[in-house]
Structure 1
Amino acid sequence: MTEKQPVIIELNMKKIARLNFWLTIGFIVFFTIIYKLIYGQTNFSLLAMLAMAVLYIIFIVLHEVFHLVGFMIFGGAKFKELDYGINLKLGIAYATTIKPMTNSAMKKALLLPFWTTGILPTVAGLYIGSFTLVITGALLIAGAVGDFAMYKELRPFPNDALVKDDPELPKLYVYETRV
């Protein structure tokens, strides 16, 4: 079996930030319209804004925690192989693992937070009539744009290719093996 040099996937953070900005506006407008169609009003207030800010911070932390959970569940990473934090230079929160995992496992771990901190709170907020929860979920849906960008870059590779996460940068190393 011969091993090729890794393919390096590196995200353009300026492009991701611009897309995140426009998606955030779009999702806020879209879900505000949906909420108003269902409930007739948005019950928006200063207290709702404060609650939204607090929930947003909590959900960002949970977003990264769910990446870690995904690394363990889908990729078999052990707790000691995980790391998380905030990269102040890039202005992003991150979760990473030193354990290489299959492309299939990495793609699942990348999208788990989208469902748990974006879609689930938005749907729950629409169901229970919480505009604060709907908009916070919408912010996290838009915030998953970097995860979707990495997912998109991983799609051309076979599911059994090994993917190594860079511990400091939004960068992945993909190793394909040939028999």
Structure 2
Amino acid sequence: MQQPQVVELNMQKIAKQNIWLSVILVIAFTIVYKIMYGQTNFSFLSILMIAILYIILIVLHEAFHLIGFMIFGRAKYKELNYGVNLKLGVAYATTVKPLPNRAMKKALLLPFWTTGVCPTFLGFYIESIAFVIVGALLIAGAIGDFVMYKELRKFPKDALIKDDPELPKLYVY
């Protein structure tokens, strides 16, 4: 078997991009919300709700990666792993099964839509600044997934992608 090509995230760079994108999106979405509804409805309750929703949606973000591995990559439940890497300060979802590139790219972006875009639209629809803010934070939080996606676009759609079980890196065969 030939040596794999390695796609690895620079976590310090990703963290800086995440912070900047979070700030930009929260400000932009708050301005749009203010224009649409004339107020932002910030209160202690909305701040508490943002904190609770953020934790729930981070967990769901990783769960949607697992769902993507099963739906798009046909991974079995026993081939999945999920947890928190305290050393890196990140939650993770992984599979021991190598996935075709096209399946891995879909699994990478599924959480962006389900835990970022959908809550943002829901927040605007139901006039909830908490959902809008949390959606903005989860959209920004998908920056690492987009970086991986961008790198995987360089490889054929049928290339096999093996997820590293401990580090933010992929092996391409």
Shared fold, TM over 0.5? yes
> Which contiguous aligned blocks of 4+ residues in structure 1 show a shift greater than 4 angstroms?
none
Number of aligned pairs? Answer: 173
Structure 1: segments with no counterpart, 5+ residues = none
**1:120-167: per-residue Cα shift (whole Å, max 9, x none)?**
000011011011000011000000001001001101101000000000
Which one of 70, 81, 90 corresponds to residue 83 of structure 1?
Answer: 81
Which one of 13, 19, 25 corresponds to residue 11 of structure 2?
Answer: 13
Aligned letter for 2:13? K
Counterpart position of 2:111: 113
Aligned letter for 2:107? A
Q: Distance in 2 between matches of 1:26 and 1:158?
A: 34
What is the RMSD of the two structures over their aligned residues, measured on CA atoms? 0.6
Q: Distance in 2 between matches of 1:86 and 1:110?
A: 17
Structure 2: segments with no counterpart, 5+ residues = none
Counterpart position of 1:65: 63
SS at match of 1:173: strand
Which one of 19, 23, 26 corresponds to residue 24 of structure 2?
Answer: 26
Q: Distance in 2 between matches of 1:95 and 1:61?
A: 10
Q: Distance in 1 between matches of 2:89 and 2:32?
A: 31
Deviation at 1:4, TM superposition (A): 3.0
Q: Distance in 2 between matches of 1:166 and 1:51?
A: 34
Q: How is 1:92-171 mapped onto 2 (pairs within 5 angstroms)?
A: 92-171=90-169
Which one of 30, 37, 40 corresponds to residue 38 of structure 2?
Answer: 40
Q: Distance in 1 between matches of 2:38 and 2:146?
A: 33
Deviation at 1:5, TM superposition (A): 1.5
Q: Distance in 1 between matches of 2:75 and 2:162?
A: 12
SS at match of 1:95: strand
Question: Percentage identity across aligned positions?
Answer: 70
**1:61-96: per-residue Cα shift (whole Å, max 9, x none)?**
000000000000000000000000000000000000
Aligned letter for 2:95? T
Q: Distance in 1 between matches of 2:70 and 2:28?
A: 34
Aligned letter for 1:58? I
TM-score scaled to structure 2, two decimals?
A: 0.99
Deviation at 1:47, TM superposition (A): 1.1
